[in-house]
Amino acid sequence: MLVEVARVLFAKYGKKEVTMNDIAEASKKGRRTLYTYFNNKEEIYKAVIDKELERVLEKLQLKASENNEPDIKLTNHIITHLDAIKELVTRNGSLRADFFHDIYEVERTRRKIDIKEIAIIREILTDGLEKKVFKRMDPDLSSMIIFYAIKGLEVPYIRQNISTHFENNKSSIVEFVFQGIKRK
């Protein structure tokens, strides 16, 4: 509950403007309670980022668990990833500016989620190799390449530089990724 209250405050006012006292008051808990769980505002901010990234991972895991062919799963994964990251940043209002400003902190927090997402992609690729949907490849290396290619589209997608274009051309972008891995 404290993390969600902090998220709402960070989203509304930005991280710099929110104090531990603001979070304690908004949560209707005393500062002592807040300090029982968190040493400082940075720890709460990190917990907010963790929770938000867990939401993204849950969406990706849900898509991966659907009973689809590997190429459809990978397509859904790419689209879900970009849409979920965009939703994460958009839903957090003023936190959006902090997200881009504190990108190194976000990246440090994100590493464990990234590893799990790469494992999801590896699983999809391995399934595609077994079913002969994808060309012969190293699924470990290929999953990392695909992950970082998707991740590289995040900022322009979030900042709307390619969002409208992407919405109109999602299938073309996904097909571009598949050119390197899908059997003809």
Q: How large is the average pLDDT for residues 58-87? A: 94
pTM of the shown model: 0.80
**pLDDT-based confidence at 139, cuts 50/70/90?**
very high
Residue 70 has which token pair? 């590997």
Helical H runs in 38-69?
A: 41-65
pLDDT at residue 122 in the model: 98
CB under 8 Å to 33, separation ≥6 — which residues? 24
Domains of the chain: 48-179 (1.10.357)
Task: List phi, psi (to 5°) of 39.
Answer: -80, -30
Alpha-carbon gap, residue 176 to 39, rounded angstroms? 46
For the purposes of burial, counting CB atoms within 10 Å of the CB of 170, is it exposed (0-12), middle (13-18) or buried (19 or more)?
A: middle
pLDDT at residue 77 in the model: 96
* Structure-model confidence comparison of residues 146 and 101, the more confident one: 146
Percentage of the chain with pLDDT > 90? Answer: 48
Q: Which residue from 113, 175, 171 is spatially nearest to 147, judged by alpha carbons?
A: 113
pLDDT tens sequence across 24-67: 999 998 888 889 999 999 899 889 988 988 999 999 999 999 99
Give the up-direction half-sphere exposure of residue 64: CA atoms within 13 A in the CB hemisphere.
22
Q: Which residue from 101, 90, 3 is spatially nearest to 50, judged by alpha carbons?
A: 3
Which of 20-34, 66-80, 103-117, 138-152 bottoms out in mean pLDDT, i.e. has the lowest?
103-117
93: left (phi over 0), alpha (psi -120 to 50) or beta: left
User: What is the gyration radius of the CA atoms in the chain, in angstroms?
Assistant: 19
Contact by Cβ (8 Å): 183, 132? yes
pLDDT at residue 168 in the model: 66
Alpha-carbon gap, residue 113 to 14, rounded angstroms? 24
Alpha-carbon gap, residue 94 to 86, rounded angstroms? 14
